[in-house]
A and B are shown apart, each in its own frame.
Chain A
Amino acid sequence: MHYSGLRLLREALTGNRGWKPAWRDPVPRREYDVIIIGGGGHGLATAYYLAKVHGITNVAVVERGPIGLGNTGRNTTIVRSNYLLPQNHNFFEWSLKLWEGLEQDINFNAMVSQRGVLNLFHNEGGRNAAARRGNAMRLDGIDAELLDREQVRAMCPLVDVDNGRFPVMGALLQRRGGTARHDAVAWGFARAADARGVDIIQHCEVLGIDVVDGRVRGVQTSRGPIRANKIGLAVAGNTSRLAQMAGVDVPIESHVLQAFVSEAVKPLVDQVITFGAGHFYVSQSDKGGLVFGGGLDGWNTYAQRGNLPVVDHVWAAGIALIPALSRLRGLRQWGGVMDMSFDGSPIISTTPVAGLYMTAGWCYGGFKATPGSGWCHAWTIANDAPHKLNEAHRLDRFRTGHLLDERGNGPFPWLQ
C-alpha cells in the first residue's frame, strides 16, 4: 500500500478501515540466503539495501523483542556528518545524503529535519579544533561554518553566551545536520524491506551461531534452528556476546548512555546545540519536549539503566548552558546499552569466520549512521568485501594499527 496525502484523505473519509499492517508477521523458514541478527535500524536498513541494491531478497531479520526497542528507540535522534577524519566524515556524509532522500525512497515519513547542529566552543583550543574539523569537512565538500559569539547569540537567544565560567566563543555549525524520528526510521525500513520480500521475525532470540570448518551455517534461536550461509550482526550493545557465539572476539565494551525528555513547551530550541564545556546536548522534539543527554555513566554494563550522578551532571550542565531549563520539569529518562569501541569509531566488516559480517561499535553515534551503515553492511555482505566507504572500518584495524581515533583519547572505551 502506497502512503500519500490522497490516501490519508480517503481513509479519513471512510473511517480509516483500509489500513493494513505495515509488515507481515511470518513464520521463520528453515533456510535463508542471509540472516540479519538484530531488528534495530541498522539490521532493518541492511535487509532493505540487500533487497533494493543487491537484489538479495531471501533474507530474514531476527529480533529477540519487537523491532526498534533497542537503541534505535532510545536515542536522541541527532543526524550529522561533522567528523574530523576523512574515513569517518566521508562515510557519515554518505549516510546524511541517504537521509536526505530517505522518505521518498522508502515512502515513509521519517520526519527528517535539517535544523542545523551547533557545537559550541569556549576557548582558543576549542576554536582551533573546531576550525580544523570544519576545514577537514569542507575539503571533502561537506558543509561547515565557523560562527563567532555574536552569530551564536543571534541564532540561539536562550544560550547563556556570557556565562561567567564558560563564555561561548563561537560554534561550528553544520546546517544540513538535524534530527529524525527514531521509531519511524525502524518502522519505515521494516515496511520497505518487507515489501521487497524480507521476513521480519520478531520475538526470536538468537542463542547460538553454528560454525562448521570456519564458515557460518546458521543460527539456533528461541524459535528453532534457521540455516543460512551468510549472517550479519546488527546487535548494538550485544556484539561481544553474539560474536563470541561464533568464536570471534571484538574490541568492544558495553556501556550505558542516558537520555532525558522535559515537559512539552512552545518552540524554545530551534537547532541541535552541544555544550563544549560539559557533557550536554539538546534539541526539541516536534511534540515540544526538550530531548537532551550527556556522557556515559562510564562503567561496563548490560543493564538499560544508568545512575543518578549522571542525571545530576546533565541537568547542571544544561542549566549552565541554557538557564531557562531550570524552570522545566523532567518528564522521562532512560538508558540504552551501546557497543563502545576502543577507538570510538564503528566496525562495518567481514570477520575471521567466513560468511559472518557485522556492523558494530557504534558508540553513542550510530543513529545518524542508520542508512549508511545498512547500505555499507549490505554491500559488504553481498560482495564478501567492504565498500570503499567502509574499508577503513574493518575489524582487523586493531591488529594492524590503523585506528580511527577521532578524538585522540587512547584505547579506553569509557572515554570515547
Chain B
Amino acid sequence: MIRIACPFCGLRDETEFAYRGDATVSRPPADAPIEDFHDYVYRRANPRGWHVEWWHHAGGCRQFLKVVRHTMTHAVHSVGLASSTQVVPPE
C-alpha cells in the first residue's frame, strides 16, 4: 500500500487517490507549434527512479497533490500542493 501524507487530510492510503500521471509536463501556449503539443500529450521521461506525479485526493479533500515517488522502491519522498516546487533527490 502506498501511503500519501496529504497536507490537508494527513496520512492516507493510495485507494483514496486517483493517479493522474507525470507532473513535469505543462500545457504549451495556444499558439505554440504542434510539436510542443505532441510532447505535452505523449512525451514522457518514464524514469526508473524518482518521479514527480499528480495524485488527486478524490476520496478526501479533492485537492490535486504533487508527489515525488520512487518507481523502484515506491517510497514517497515528498507531497506538496499543486503549486509547489519540490526537490527531486539524486538517485
Contact = CB atoms under 8 A, between A and B. Distances in A.
Interface stretch (B35-43, B56-64, B81-89): B35-43
A308 B15 CA distance: 10
Contacts of B1: 307-309
Contact of A342 (B15, B42, B45, B71): B42
A302 B53 contact: no
- Interface range for A: 20 to 34
Nearest to B46: A240
A312 to B, nearest CB: 9
Contacts, number: 62
A339 B3 CA distance: 25
B46 A412 contact: no
B2 A307 contact: yes
B48 interface: yes
Given A307-B1, A307-B2, A411-B41, A253 B46 contact: yes
Contacts of B66: none
Interface in B9-37: 13-15, 19, 21-22, 35
Contact of A240 (B14, B44, B69): B44
A254 B47 CA distance: 9
Contacts of B13: 309
A300 B53 contact: yes
Interface string A378-416: 000000000000000000001100000000000111100
Main secondary structure, interface of B, reads: mixed
A303 B72 contact: yes
Interface in A223-268: 240-241, 249, 251-254
A315 to B, nearest CB: 15
Interface string A154-188: 00000000000000000000000000000000000
A302 B42 contact: no
B71 A251 contact: no
A130 B25 CA distance: 36
Nearest to A307: B1
A398 B71 CA distance: 25
Contact of A252 (B21, B44, B51): B44
Contact of B46 (A298, A300, A414): A300
B14 A309 contact: yes
B46 A399 contact: no
A287 B45 CA distance: 42
A299 interface: yes
Contact of A301 (B22, B38, B74): B74
Contacts of A240: 44-46
A413 B85 CA distance: 25
Contacts of A251: 42-44
Contacts of B21: 253, 300, 412-414
Nearest to B34: A399
A99 to B, nearest CB: 31
A240 B21 CA distance: 16
Nearest to B15: A309
Nearest to B51: A300
A298 B20 CA distance: 9
A299 B46 contact: no
B48 A241 contact: yes
A202 to B, nearest CB: 22
Nearest to A301: B71
Given A307-B1, A309-B14, A412-B21, A249 B43 contact: yes
Interface of B: 1-2, 13-15, 19, 21-22, 35, 38, 41-46, 48, 51, 53, 69, 71-74
18 contacts: A240-B44, A241-B48, A249-B43, A249-B44, A251-B42, A254-B48, A299-B14, A300-B22, A300-B46, A300-B71, A301-B72, A302-B48, A302-B72, A307-B14, A399-B35, A411-B42, A412-B21, A414-B19
Interface of A: 240-241, 249, 251-254, 298-303, 307-309, 342, 398-399, 411-414
Top 9 nearest A-B pairs (CB, nearest first) are A240-B46, A251-B42, A302-B48, A398-B42, A299-B19, A309-B15, A301-B71, A302-B71, A253-B46
